[in-house]
Structure 1
């Protein structure tokens, strides 16, 4: 140990030699200061090193946090891009409609045939209602379930079939629906009991009609913008035409050919018409593969809810009146079957012109601005049924009710389209409205019939109920109008 100290001291002398010429005290002082400075530097370095450790840890945590945040943002962006495939924001806007031209008006003509073979056929059930009550051991309320089920299937399937148009599957959808409907009509011709008529005329023809009706009507709407109301209204005149022609065929052929061949003739009429439609009707918009079957965001819009409730309420009263107008003539006023069935023809045919006039006005001032006062007038006419106590009065009421019903029904698809921002969502939203209103069409006639039966076969209470439902529909459209445009009457909506 002593030798190491001596060696250390000897080793330090050459370094101290240059300072020996100076004062020893100064040398010692200088050496002492150098030693103290080195110790201080070492101490400061140690302290700095110790102090730098928390800083380094903080910087490390910051870098890790930034990396984690970048990773989270990247993941979020990827998920957002994936999720956006299920929203309308990423869908390319569809091209603008031609709003005319040979191809567009051809689709209107095909739409006319579609509505002729669906709603014209459905609205003619009043003639079957009057016939079935005479040949089947069933009450009028029970018989009306056949027509109600037919309408219900026609509308409830719309929530799915409307989306198939948007997805670019119109032709296969139309073909399947047309085949089911026509097969149901042919099977109806061999049905002799209530349950078989329910399965064929009620279920099969209803399902078939529902599969291709909504896509076809929505397809017509996609070809027009400024003239959409007129085009759709023109197509819906097929409803009135079918509502006249089918009962006439039934009225003329039933006494001579019998029920079986009468039903077959009707089936051949539909087969011919639907074959023409399949040949010429084509969609315009590119398929929209993404997007929901049901657009639940629509139910956040007060205007959409108001329109939906309005259509629902008026559907309950409308189909009760259509189905029971002939029975009212027979049971209350004593009309024979042949003359009572004329009421079905009148109530469908009276509105054929007025299925064009309101849409022309709607193209100028907006569909909701037209459908709201039309529903009010319809409610007034519905209440007037309570005062009908003679055959001439029944004819007058039937004509006016047919006018108001036709004026309303032709505005339904245009109104829904007007509150839908994207044309490639019309099929989906229209199908949703029709599906909801299907439950009103299903229950309306039986409820009215049950009210009638509960009051010894008298119609007064059922008539009042139907009129009140129409009035509720008017109030709902007022709510939709105020939600859409406020209280200013000059706003187009």
Structure 2
């Protein structure tokens, strides 16, 4: 039996040195038959030993490349929707914080209210330990179904919530767990689809969904809540999330090779590698301060700067617009100088800007500041996904290590907002101590990230070249 030329196309596209010819091909080995069992080669349909049927022209090698490009584009769009659902929702919490402080939970302190948002964020990251390993084992569509269902259910239950504990369960726990099922796999999809040069741009494009969500959702909340009420506003949000997760389900085609990877919940060998450990610690401190402006910018503008309510909500959208630029533009710099260098600049810049926030007490100043801090925040949330694979010895641990990195950051997010809230003087609406805490934490984290950046720049034989999987 022989392989027809049409069956050689996948092999040809993988190695440009091979050309189609009309001579008998060698007998298929036992190894080839084993690969066939797992779907790595095309089906064998022509008797072995016979020459392939003549063809008028060689197969077009661009067909396979076009298919790869189409699948890669679908994955970027699918991950865009996932980022909208996960980080877009999380980045919009300041709108809820201001509403809760003034209306639904007015009897509670800002620190207590902020636990709702920080719990959601922390569960999104902590769940990544499990979802990252499940992705490595090939269960991305299962994660999409479970995660999307939890997010939709959480918004529907939030629409009925009246008490603090009900809001915690719906918005903090249910949506948080659902987002965790969605978020880490979306990072791993991009990391293992694109090579080191392409990855920052791909992550920047897909993660821009978070910034778009952070722009659109606060504005929608501001306009819908007074008109149709808190309940129906959240029901509409739930239907939007449902539509996006359905689209992501069809766009994120599973890669069969991931089912053969022995995905880990936790990679203990990572804790023996100083560069990766310092990366974890650095990200922890960066995100300890990261959520301070995202949670408190709206109530700060409304109660401390004394701007009108509408503009206070728009400031959150302005901050997230800056985040959009921070996810896209630095990706081009990372393409040239490496993502680790850009991450260091983002962490240090974020810390400096949060500290500068202490001296801003007018509308023009806080508006410009919102754009700048959003830009730096966009860098710190988008670029780590491109750095983790550079500190991973093999593609099989990328999912687990990504989950580990975001789990530490998630714990920082859990406690950062409430600590800053506890430092706010609600009697005088003085946010200075909370701002100082957030700025110092992020600045320290940015400085710590210098060490893993140097390790990556110098090169380390332990770490293989980043995963460069074909789509």
Note whether the superposition's TM-score is higher than 0.5.
yes
TM-score of the superposed pair, with normalisation by structure 1: 0.77
Pick from 454, 457, 467: which aligns with 2:439?
Answer: 467
Aligned to 1:242, what secondary structure does the other structure show?
helix
Range moving further from structure 2, 333-342 or 436-445 = 333-342
C-alpha distance in 2, partners of 1:156/1:264?
A: 26
C-alpha distance in 2, partners of 1:256/1:315?
A: 35
1:239 aligns with 2:214: no
Pick from 237, 249, 252: which aligns with 2:223?
Answer: 252
1:128 aligns with 2:100: no
Aligned to 1:141, what secondary structure does the other structure show?
helix
Deviation of the 1:330 alpha carbon = 1.5
Deviation of the 1:479 alpha carbon = 2.0
Corresponding position of 1:287: 259
Pick from 334, 340, 343: which aligns with 1:368?
Answer: 340
Contact preservation (8 Å) 2:262, 2:396: no
Pick the structure with greater CA Rg: 1
Q: Number of residue pairs matched?
A: 396
Aligned to 1:168, what secondary structure does the other structure show?
coil
Corresponding position of 1:386: 358
| Superimposed CA distance per residue, residues 405-431 of structure 1 (whole angstroms, 9 cap, x where no aligned partner) | 112221010111222232232111101
Deviation of the 1:438 alpha carbon = 1.1
Corresponding position of 1:437: 409
Corresponding position of 2:119: 149
Pick from 291, 296, 299: which aligns with 1:327?
Answer: 299
Contact preservation (8 Å) 1:116, 1:239: yes
Gaps of 5+ in 1: 1-91
C-alpha distance in 2, partners of 1:438/1:240?
A: 19
Gaps of 5+ in 2: 1-37, 42-63, 460-464, 467-471
C-alpha distance in 1, partners of 2:428/2:399?
A: 44
Corresponding position of 1:118: 86
Could you say which structure has the higher helix fraction?
A: 1
5 Å matches for 1:19-98? Answer: none
C-alpha distance in 2, partners of 1:290/1:374?
A: 34
Deviation of the 1:449 alpha carbon = 0.5
C-alpha distance in 1, partners of 2:349/2:263?
A: 39
**Aligned-pair RMSD on alpha carbons?**
2.3
| Superimposed CA distance per residue, residues 381-402 of structure 1 (whole angstroms, 9 cap, x where no aligned partner) | 2221121021111111111100
Corresponding position of 2:199: 228
Contact preservation (8 Å) 1:378, 1:470: yes
C-alpha distance in 2, partners of 1:172/1:231?
A: 24
1:354 aligns with 2:326: yes
| Superimposed CA distance per residue, residues 128-161 of structure 1 (whole angstroms, 9 cap, x where no aligned partner) | 0000011212111111110011111111000010
| Superimposed CA distance per residue, residues 265-292 of structure 1 (whole angstroms, 9 cap, x where no aligned partner) | 1011101111111122123333245353
C-alpha distance in 1, partners of 2:275/2:141?
A: 32
C-alpha distance in 2, partners of 1:385/1:299?
A: 36
Corresponding position of 1:409: 381
TM-score of the superposed pair, with normalisation by structure 2: 0.80
C-alpha distance in 1, partners of 2:407/2:173?
A: 15
